[in-house]
Amino acid sequence: MKKTSVKAVAGNGLLDRRSFLMSGIALSASCSLGPLAASASKPGGVSSQSISESFPEWMKVPGHAATEYGQPSAHESQVRRHLQKSAPETSIFSIWHTPIENQRGIITPSGLHFTVNHNGIPDIAPQRHVLMIHGLVERPLKFDVDSLMLYPMVSNIHFLECAGNTASNAVSLTSLDQSAQELFGQISGSEWTGIPLKHLFKEAGIKASAKWVIAEGADGGSHSRSIPLDKLLDDAIIALYQNGERIRPSQGYPMRLFVPGWEGNLNIKWLHRLEVTDQPAYTKDESGLYSDILEDGKIQRFSFHMDVKSLITHPSGRQLLPEKRGFYEISGLAWSGYGKIKLVEVSADGGKTWARAHIESPILPKSLTRFSMPWRWNGTDAILLSRATDEAGRVQPTRDQWRAQHASYSFNHYNGIQAWHISSSGVVENCYV
């Protein structure tokens, strides 16, 4: 194979992806078959008996049987959700972070999807659960689970993110030595399948004065949020399946509201009531914890969209680069509640220079999007950054730009550029730039 030169596209070792792949360097990690295989192919070489004796144990005996519900390999037991420590403000919450740095692609396995539960997980008998649509409608309706299963369904891949994701970077004066999972673990991507809500509303007959819908869950605290009717008529669904299987109890079994691109708290789990109204209800959460406090002290309610954001997951916090210098792939995720990701840029010198990253297909609206960039690390200190731009033209801000618009104690909807410092010893740490 003819090798080509590898072009640098920015400072501190960021490389042109096409020339990197064409150069043959990308194949340099492959190894030869070794002397055993080579000698076995020669007359008078190693005997078949001695070759079989060198086989590992799992090649000598039949394996175990499959189970009725498949489980991950025991060798991957370290890949698990992380339970966030409770603060006084979240003492009644249960918050589990997805191991985002162990994820490749854009789909999070259902068992690793992050979850935030305000009042525990109710054990709901599906045959007794009912969804009610009432209020400013011509025909109040009730649906049990079996009747909803008869409706045509749609499937789409979307992210779900808690408004408080990455809160510590928003409020902590010094950067905390945390992993990507601890910082960014309140986001996941799944294929969600369910019934477009517009069909059920059409059946109920929405009155002209209707503007809002109060969605309520069947949990012990009757968690509820006010949502604009227009959004629910656009792309919201009653989700019954996640990643091809019935949604799990921690995700709202037997049904949940899924509102693509909007903050996780209003994607009501264990959904049992939709009240169509002419004004919001100003419920506990939307009037308190999920209101944004701005720099001038004003309160911004109903900031529903999750803004454009990105994260380098490899390498990321608390990881260690195994080789003290050499070629690495920088890889990460970008997303926006306003639509598709248009551009991701990467810097390896703390933002002095930037290079356009490769965006991998599929590029879907309101979905996690994978990006990558080849990097030749010279073994000296480096600071990695990623900056996303979406199709609406929204550009991910710096941490200082975000903080300048919000009160010092505000943390919801933080989307500042994430920085990872890599020391000469290969240790990766969270940092501010």
As a whole number of angstroms, the distance between CA 382 and CA 226 comes to 45
| CATH number of the domain encompassing residue 423 | 2.60.40.650
In a domain, 69, yes or no: no
Boundary-marking domain end, from 296, 327, 349? 296
Provide the token pair at 328.
Answer: 């690495």
CB 301 within 8 A of CB 281: no
In a domain, 17, yes or no: no
Per-residue model confidence (pLDDT) at position 143:
98
As a whole number of angstroms, the distance between CA 314 and CA 401 comes to 25
In a domain, 263, yes or no: yes
Same domain for 264 and 337?
no
Least reliable range by pLDDT among 1-10, 168-177, 292-301: 1-10
Same domain for 212 and 115?
yes
Same domain for 156 and 269?
yes
Same domain for 215 and 313?
no
Provide the token pair at 206.
Answer: 């929405």
Q: Measure Cα distances from 125 to 13, 130, 237, 255 in Å.
A: 57, 10, 21, 12
In a domain, 16, yes or no: no
Boundary-marking domain end, from 263, 296, 329? 296
Q: Quick one: which of 81, 103, 52, 172 has its CA closest to 430? A: 172
As a whole number of angstroms, the distance between CA 347 and CA 420 comes to 11
Same domain for 351 and 424?
yes
As a whole number of angstroms, the distance between CA 166 and CA 183 comes to 5
Query: For the chain, what is the domain count?
Result: 2
Same domain for 114 and 247?
yes
Same domain for 210 and 334?
no
Q: List the alpha helices (DSSP H) in 252-301.
A: 284-287
In a domain, 203, yes or no: yes
Residue 326, Ramachandran bin (φ over 0: left; ψ between -120 and 50: alpha; else beta) = left
* pLDDT tens, position by position, 355-394: 999 999 999 999 999 999 999 999 999 999 999 999 999 9
In a domain, 60, yes or no: no
CB 8 within 8 A of CB 19: no
Same domain for 221 and 266?
yes
Domain housing 128: 82-296
Strand order in the sheet with 358-359: 309-314, 326-335, 369-377, 358-359
In a domain, 63, yes or no: no
Confidence of residue 27 (pLDDT cuts 50, 70, 90): low
Same domain for 108 and 200?
yes
Least reliable range by pLDDT among 28-32, 119-123, 177-181, 230-234: 28-32
Provide the token pair at 312.
Answer: 């380098």
Q: Measure Cα distances from 182 to 9, 47, 167, 230 in Å.
A: 32, 53, 10, 35
As a whole number of angstroms, the distance between CA 116 and CA 85 comes to 12
As a whole number of angstroms, the distance between CA 86 and CA 122 comes to 20
At which residue do the structure tokens 């002209």 appear?
Answer: 208
In a domain, 138, yes or no: yes
Same domain for 262 and 386?
no
Same domain for 215 and 292?
yes
| CATH number of the domain encompassing residue 234 | 3.90.420.10
Average pLDDT of the chain is 92
* pLDDT tens, position by position, 30-69: 554 444 444 444 555 556 667 778 889 999 899 999 999 9
Same domain for 239 and 324?
no
Per-residue model confidence (pLDDT) at position 353:
98
